[in-house]
Structures are given as structure tokens and as C-alpha cells.
């Protein structure tokens, strides 16, 4: 797979980030159609090859230069770098945040407990799949607690008396609720990110990285905006503009056969658009 004229990108083989990552890259003009069996496949429309792996292996593949880029959750990246105990310093550059795969690594405690600040965790046992990030948080807050490392199903540890509380990823919070737990404090905000091999120095590849990033930026920006068209009375224009602060500079056209009618075309930030329409 060593080809200086193609980018080699690692991404999750099957999991929460897989479909969104393929979808995003295809919106950037790639034509990725992962088969059921291949672990490596190519885009014909853009010089990119994809390697499908477990998300936990992505930071190391990218750090070692097996792949040029990787798409992974910030949570996995940060935990892996800490786990390598300084040997990955100065780290693996995050070159884009991708606006999906949002979650947070949080400490959660039994619903009936009172949370009065990080000192709550003194002398507690905490189950987690993120022991390094948790250890860092505990040290920063001068808390002495016992870390119990579990590979999965962390949320059932308190009910099984394996631990007093947990430190796990949360997105909607429904898993915590279903297990009679509540979020106490967030220690990391995460989303899907693009990471780059720190040693990447081949000009052709760096040029491809820049081209891909330009496309990614366009797609991400387009996802966050709407093109709106409306007809209105000329006298309402200023009021409409003040209601749509994300509208930027609209194009205004006179309507045919109408004295006061205008057409307004504008690009609008999507969240502002929906809030305003409501
Ligand atoms: O097999 P592989 O090792 O590749 O996959 P994996 O099982 O380790 O990871 P996967 O596919 O579950 O998640 C991949 C990435 O998605 C994570 O590393 C995060 O960056 C991101 N992500 C976003 C999440 C969640 N949201 C999420 N909610 N990862 C896990 N969860 C789990 C969480 O662990 C908990 O069990 O969902 C549950 C909580 O969800 P809510 O909605 O009930 O709060
Ligand atoms: Zn994993």
C-alpha cells in the first residue's frame, strides 16, 4: 500500500462512526463502497485508499505511519496517547473536527446519591474503559479513588457491586437513566476527528491532505447552512433581516407585476433558521 501519490486513511471497521465517515467522504467526491469482506478498498474518483480497523488501533497506525490519516473519536485518541506514557509525545495532530460522533466522557453516580463536587469520589471505586483519562482527572483534582478497568458494559458495574460509580461515554443519557445512574461531571467532550501522521512529509501526500480538507470544510459548512428563498413586502425587509441574524447579505429582487413585492434569497446558519421559523 506504499504509494506516494495516494492517501491511506484508517477508519472504524464497524461501529458508530463507520457509516457517517463513509457518507462524509463520499460527499467530498469519493466513491467508497465498502464490501463485506475487504479490509482495504479504494476510491477511483480521488486518490485515497481506506483501511478498516478497530477504532482503538487507529491512533497507533497513524502515529507509526502505517496510515497517513485516521478518523477516530477524540476520546479514543486521548486515551491511547496517555496509555503510551509519553512515547507518542508531542502527540498526533488533530487536523479537523468533523461534527458528528458527539459524546462526553463523564463520571456518573447512583441516582439517589448527592453530588457535592469532585471530592465526592474520594475513596470510591470507579469502573471505566478509560482508565488513563480518569486517572488524569483524579490526579488533577487530588482525589484518591480506585480505578476498575472494564472492557465493556461499564454501566452495570454499580448494580453488580463491582464499583461504586462509573466513568463512561454518554450521548443521550438514556443508558445511565436505565441503570439508575446520573451524570455528575464531564471530563472530556468528544467528537469524530481527523488525525494526521506527525511524520508525514511527502509533498504529493500533503497536497492531497490539503485538497481533502478543503472539500471537508465545504461539506461541513454546507451541512450547517440553508439556502432560503422567500417572497415578502419591501417594507418588511429590515424586520426580516433582524429576525434572521445568521442571514448575512441577502440577494433582493423585485417581483414582476408587484409594486411592493420582493424576493429574498439568503444563506442562513441552520440552527438560527429553525429557531426563527419556530
Ligand atoms: O469495535 P470497535 O472497537 O471499533 O468499536 P467500539 O465498540 O469501541 O466503539 P463504538 O462503535 O461503540 O463507538 C465508536 C465511537 O463513537 C466512540 O469512541 C465515541 O467516540 C463515539 N460515540 C458517540 C459513542 C457514543 N456516542 C455512545 N453513546 N460511543 C459509545 N457510546 C455508548 C456509551 O459507551 C454507552 O454505553 O453508548 C452508551 C451511552 O449512550 P446514551 O445515548 O444512552 O447516553
Ligand atoms: Zn473500540
State the 10-residue block means of pLDDT for the chain, 278 residues long. 90 96 96 84 95 97 97 98 87 96 98 97 98 98 98 97 98 98 98 98 97 96 87 91 75 92 88 74
Q: Which letter does DSSP use for residue 179 in this model?
A: T
Say what the pLDDT of residue 93 is: 97
**What does the block give as the cell for 157?**
458495574
Helix (H, G, I), strand (E, B) or coil at 18: helix
User: Can you tell me the distance from the alpha carbon of 207 to that of 4, in angstroms, rounded to the nearest whole number?
Assistant: 11
Spatial neighbors of 259 by CB under 8 A, at least 6 apart, are none
Nearest atom (ligand 1) to Cα of 153? 36
250 lines ligand 1 (CB under 6 A): no
Quote the pTM value. Answer: 0.90
Which parts of 36-146 fold into alpha helices (H)?
Answer: 58-64, 74-83, 131-140
Question: Which bound ligand lies closest to the C-alpha atom of 173?
Answer: 1
Nearest atom (ligand 1) to Cα of 168? 34
Say what the pLDDT of residue 89 is: 81
**What does the block give as the cell for 55?**
477504532
179 lines ligand 1 (CB under 6 A): no
173 lines ligand 1 (CB under 6 A): yes
Nearest Cα to Cα of residue 15 among 196, 178, 192, 216: 192
CB 107 within 8 A of CB 166: yes
**Residue nearest ligand 1's atom 17 by CA:** 73
Say what the pLDDT of residue 245 is: 67
Amino acid at each position: 500500500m506504499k504509494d506516494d501519490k495516494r492517501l491511506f486513511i484508517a477508519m472504524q471497521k464497524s461501529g458508530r462512526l463507520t457509516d457517517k465517515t463513509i457518507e462524509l467522504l463520499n460527499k467530498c467526491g469519493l466513491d467508497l463502497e465498502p464490501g463485506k469482506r475487504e479490509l482495504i478498498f479504494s476510491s477511483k474518483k480521488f486518490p485515497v485508499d481506506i483501511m478498516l480497523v478497530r477504532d482503538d488501533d487507529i491512533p497507533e497506525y497513524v502515529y507509526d505511519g502505517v496510515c497517513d490519516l485516521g478518523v477516530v473519536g477524540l476520546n479514543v485518541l486521548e486515551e491511547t496517547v496517555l496509555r503510551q506514557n509519553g512515547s507518542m509525545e508531542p502527540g498526533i495532530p488533530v487536523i479537523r473536527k468533523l461534527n458528528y460522533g458527539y459524546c462526553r466522557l463523564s463520571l456518573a453516580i447512583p441516582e439517589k446519591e448527592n453530588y457535592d463536587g469532585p471530592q465526592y469520589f474520594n475513596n470510591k471505586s470507579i469502573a471505566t474503559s478509560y482508565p488513563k483519562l480518569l486517572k488524569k482527572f483524579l490526579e488533577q483534582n487530588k482525589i484518591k479513588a480506585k480505578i476498575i478497568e472494564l472492557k465493556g458494559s461499564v454501566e452495570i458495574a454499580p448494580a453488580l457491586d463491582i464499583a461504586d460509580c462509573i466513568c463512561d461515554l454518554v450521548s443521550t443519557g438514556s443508558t445511565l437513566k436505565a441503570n439508575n445512574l446520573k451524570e455528575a461531571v464531564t471530563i472530556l467532550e468528544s467528537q469524530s476527528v481527523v488525525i494526521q501522521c506527525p511524520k508525514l512529509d511527502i509533498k504529493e501526500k500533503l497536497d492531497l491532505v490539503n485538497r481533502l480538507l478543503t472539500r471537508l470544510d465545504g461539506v461541513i459548512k454546507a451541512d450547517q447552512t440553508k439556502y432560503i428563498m422567500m417572497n415578502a413586502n419591501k417594507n418588511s425587509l429590515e424586520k426580516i433581516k433582524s429576525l434572521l441574524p445568521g442571514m448575512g447579505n441577502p440577494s433582493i429582487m423585485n417581483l414582476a407585476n408587484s409594486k411592493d413585492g420582493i424576493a429574498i434569497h439568503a444563506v442562513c446558519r441552520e440552527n438560527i433558521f429553525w429557531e426563527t421559523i419556530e
